[in-house]
Amino acid sequence: MRKHTLHRRAVFAAAASTLAAPRAARAAWPERPVRWIVGYPAGGGTDVLARLLGAAMSARLGVPVVVENRPGAATNLGAEAAANAAPDGYTVFTAGNETLVFNPALYKRLPFDADNGLRPLGLMARFHLVLCAKPNGGAADAAGFLERARARAGAVDYGSPGIGSPHHLATERLARDLGLKLNHVPYRGMAPVMNDLVAGTVETAVLDMAAGAEVIRSGRVRPLVLLSPARLPAIPDVPTAAEAFGLAGFEAYAWQGLTAPARTPDDMCARLTAELAAALADPAVQGRMREIGLDPLSGGPEEHRRMIASERAIYWPLIRQLGIALD
């Protein structure tokens, strides 16, 4: 009888050990660096934000967070790499309105599933957008911009960092709401837009504060209208679209959140969401974000999903109305 009892105990112990093994392995996560994919080149606002938050999260996770830049195809290359990565908690991806709001409407086919391929973990930041004019010979203020655009329908140029960028679609949305027709001049990135605006080659452009704060504050371009609902302390004299144009409730941003491959386990996603929120709550991180023109955004997966849905309701009809397609 004693031998039989001992045998049963050994069997139960072995079974318990087998069942506990995956849990023990899961509990040890993370054991190696977490890869943070960014769909833009190094040095831009998106890259700087990922490195700033990644460093803060790394200290709490206990492993390095390594940024991997995969620029190209309006962030689709990075999104594809992230969506196809192993769902093991070791890959995250910066996904904002260009990836999850605009691209599903701009492309007939995407190399990833925009609805089910990536799992929202939480919001990170928004980039304030400012309608600006060339420094000489262009509009001096919002009223001057309206006058010139109405008098020269379709002849007033505006530059953007590319077709389907937040800057492009925010300008087209503003033009639609004001009943204007503008001439879009797409560039490959924000830097050449700013260079040509400063030189007067292009008449207007929407700049984001992360990239354009220095040329705006220095007077090298003329800030006309802020596309946020309230004035910014950094540029207190620049009116909002509601103030300048009477567009009550108008607001447009570039914004970003963090995602993981869709089948990443719940416990890992919950930990990543918590560490992201802790990083964003750090006063030093918030201060640095505001220094580079970024507004911290709070909100976990549900807020991230609601942001995607609300922006799709605004921009998908606009994209269809404009007939914009990128493939």
Amino acid at 121: L
- Give start-end residues of each CATH 3.40.190.150 domain in the chain: 34-125+254-322
Rounded CA gap, 79 and 320, in Å? 23
37: helix, strand or coil:
strand
Mean pLDDT of 248-275: 97
Top mean pLDDT of 21-25, 209-213, 269-273 is at 269-273
pLDDT digits (tens, 9 = 90+) for 85-105: 999 999 999 999 999 999 999
What CATH homologous superfamily does 128-245 map to? Answer: Periplasmic binding protein-like II (3.40.190.10)
- Give start-end residues of each CATH 3.40.190.10 domain in the chain: 128-245
Sign, Cα dihedral of 172, 178, 181, 187: negative
When pLDDT is cut at 50, 70 and 90, the band that residue 189 belongs to is confident
- Closest to 209 in 3D by CA, of 100, 308, 125, 96: 125
pLDDT digits (tens, 9 = 90+) for 142-186: 999 999 999 999 999 999 999 999 999 999 999 999 999 999 999
Rounded CA gap, 190 and 85, in Å? 29
Tell me, what's the pLDDT at 5?
46
Rounded CA gap, 210 and 289, in Å? 9
pLDDT digits (tens, 9 = 90+) for 274-314: 999 999 999 999 999 998 889 999 999 999 999 999 999 99
pTM: 0.86
**CATH number attached to the domain at 34-125+254-322:** 3.40.190.150
